[in-house]
Chain A
Amino acid sequence: MQAWVVATSLIFLYLALTVVLGLVANRMSSGDLEDFLLYGRKAGFVVLYLTVVATYHSSFAFLGSGGFFYTHGIGFWEAGTWTVLVGGITYVLGSRIWALGKAFGYVTPADLLADFYESEAVRVVAAIVSVLFTILYIQVQAQGLGYILSVASGDRIPFEVGTLILLVVAAFYLAVGGLRAVYWTDVVQGVWMYTAVWIGALVLTYKLFGGPLALWRRLAVERPDLLSLPGPEGFFTPGIWFGMTISLSFGIIIQPHMMIRYYTATSGTVIKWLGATTPIYLMTLYIPAAMVGLGGALAMPGLERPDRVFPLMLFQYTHPVLTGLILAGATAAAMSTLDSILHANMTVLTRDVYQRYVRPDADDRHYVWVGRAIIAVLLVVAYILSIRTHVFLVTLVTLSGSGALQLLPGVLGVCMPSPRIRTARGILAGIAAGLATLYVTLFGVAVGGLVITPNPLGVHHSVWALATNFLVVLVVSRFTAPPSTETIERIHGEIERFVYGSKNDEAPSPPNPIASAA
């Protein structure tokens, strides 16, 4: 049997499995909104672990990271830094987000921010930032999916058709099974992608070089420029290194599809264990990625598109069945992120827009159907974005990694009590200043005699934007009215009780004003 038939068949087999899981999840669903949007807040350690890691690692980790090692060398092993930092952030911040979500019935990041800052403007801005800077990731993931199916079929399935098939499958199981379907498919996807990338990398490395240690020795002789900083093209400067650490840890944790996951845990202890253990998966996925990328630099030098090095090596050097299994793993990596972002955007639009401003008093069944309709709309938008790439969209995608990071000062103000209280006006001014700084320092501007180059002074644009944001928040908050004392004591008191009070996660909480209002 030809390689493309085997590879394509295995990907379709995998897709069929995700559809079945979606249908089973539908049968298990209770039909209420919290079950559809938040898995009923009943996610245990194993399910949550695999959905968090599968969501964090997208098609970039599977394909793009190999390309990064291929082009820029060992410097991309920095990825371990931000993945371990993600563990620390989850431990400290994630557990607090869980505690507040459980106590006050939060569903979205905007719920948390608007409740503390007592501001509908904060809610709207947080919802816009949440959706705008993640919906474009759908485009990236969908394009990755279309590309994988196109490569697997030897270009027999056009990119546009492949993208549509995979988007429809992800939207289908999300619409029928809600977050339960996303979590169950993520469990399969998380296991599959991790196993696939390790097996693929080890097979290639032993076949081409005689093992990982022999690969390192050959690199030292033939491409020593790949084994030191800042890399062959001078990419990894100190400023970029530090900036990537911040933007790819805090920046991703603050995105709605990750924050919503914290709300769904059964207990705060589960979140803390996630913090301690998810870095093992997240960091070690980059070990085989390094083998693939650095090995590819020796075996296939001069590739025009370095991010294609993994599938190209698989097709050239391994058995078709193995290639198919691994490309199905790449599909899993992209779909697990895509479905989570689709779900997060659907949740934000259903909860923060429709339920809040359009029809606040409908029953759960109505909101579930509205959510399904929103998924259909997102599917169409995602497909159009995927097949029609505009320069403007490319710009926004580039911005998106650091965009959600601008919510960080607001989230810290809620979750990390301190005598210096931040205000709604401070948070809004900070977000505006941060986004403006982000644009200027990412692309550079020249106004009159003033010229600002991209990444000024060699410092990553996200660091400039976040520093500006924090500064503006602190200054404006000093001169504007804080939230009411009652709200500060209610929310910060809950954090105090959770962190320093009773260690029992199930201890009674204050009344839930949002849930009762809804």
Chain B
Amino acid sequence: MPMPVKQSHFLPRSRHGWIAVIAFLGLMALAQPPIVFRFANRVEPWVLGVPFLYAWLLGVYVAMIGVLFWAQRQRL
């Protein structure tokens, strides 16, 4: 039987759901203005031989993928 929907699906309903959403969006913010244009927009310090901006963004992307993996493992 179909169930009537009273609660919005835009807001998570579990603790793990909140963690996943906040982590993903928070990390996304690190790769968006203003952070990426101010704090991360630099060549130095070099990180493992690559410019800081490149390494910063790569780190954020990998962390975001990590959140997606974690969400799947939690069956969210």
Closest chain B residue, CB of each to CB of A419: B8
* A448 adjacent to chain B (CB < 8 Å): no
A232 at the interface (CB under 8 A from B): no
Of the 9-residue stretches A30-38, A73-81, A387-395, which lies at the interface with chain B? A73-81
Residues in chain B near residue A490, CB distance under 8 A: 2
Is A418's beta carbon under 8 Å from chain B?
yes
Within 8 Å of chain B (Cβ to Cβ): is A503? yes
User: Contact between A495 and B9 (Cβ–Cβ < 8 Å)?
Assistant: yes
Contacting residue for B32 out of A217, A241, A283, CB 8 A = A241
Report which residue of A85, A245, A418, A494 has the largest number of chain B beta carbons within 10 angstroms of its beta carbon.
Answer: A418
**Inter-subunit contact B51/A74 (CB<8 Å):** yes
0 or 1 for each of A87-129: is its CB under 8 Å from B? (1 = yes):
1100100000000000000000000000000000000000000
Task: Kindly list chain B residues whose C-beta atoms are within 8 Å of the C-beta of A499.
Answer: 9
Contact (Cβ within 8 A) A77 B8 = no
A228 at the interface (CB under 8 A from B): yes
Q: Give complex CA distance A280, B66 in Å.
A: 10
- Residues from chain B with a CB closer than 8 A to the CB of A229 are 36-37, 41, 53
Q: Are B37 and A238 in contact (CB under 8 A)?
A: yes
Knowing A224-B43, A228-B41, A229-B36 are in contact, say whether A77-B68 is a contact too (CB < 8 A). no
Given A228-B53, A273-B72, are A220 and B37 also a contact pair (CB < 8 Å)?
A: no
Q: Which residues of chain A are near B54, meaning CB under 8 Å?
A: 74, 77, 216, 290
B50 → chain A closest CB, angstroms: 5
Interchain CB contact under 8 A, A213 and B50: yes
Q: Determine whether the beta carbon of A80 is less than 8 Å from that of B41.
A: no
Q: In the bound complex, what is the Cα–Cα distance between A227 and B53 (angstroms)?
A: 8
Query: Does A88 lie within 8 Å of B24, measured CB to CB?
Result: yes
A220 touches B36 (CB 8 A): no
- How far is B24's CA from A91's CA once the two chains are assembled, in angstroms? 12
With A229-B36, A238-B37, A496-B5 known as contacts, the answer to whether A272 contacts B72 (CB < 8 A) is yes
* Chain B contacts for A91, CB-based, 8 A: 68, 71-72
Taking beta carbons and an 8 Å cutoff, which residues of B are in contact with A? 1-6, 8-10, 13, 24, 28, 31-34, 36-37, 41-43, 46, 49-51, 53-54, 57-58, 61, 64-65, 68-69, 71-72, 75
17 intermolecular pairs with C-beta atoms under 8 Å apart: A74-B51, A74-B53, A80-B31, A80-B61, A91-B71, A212-B50, A220-B43, A227-B51, A229-B41, A229-B53, A276-B71, A417-B8, A418-B10, A489-B2, A494-B2, A495-B5, A497-B2
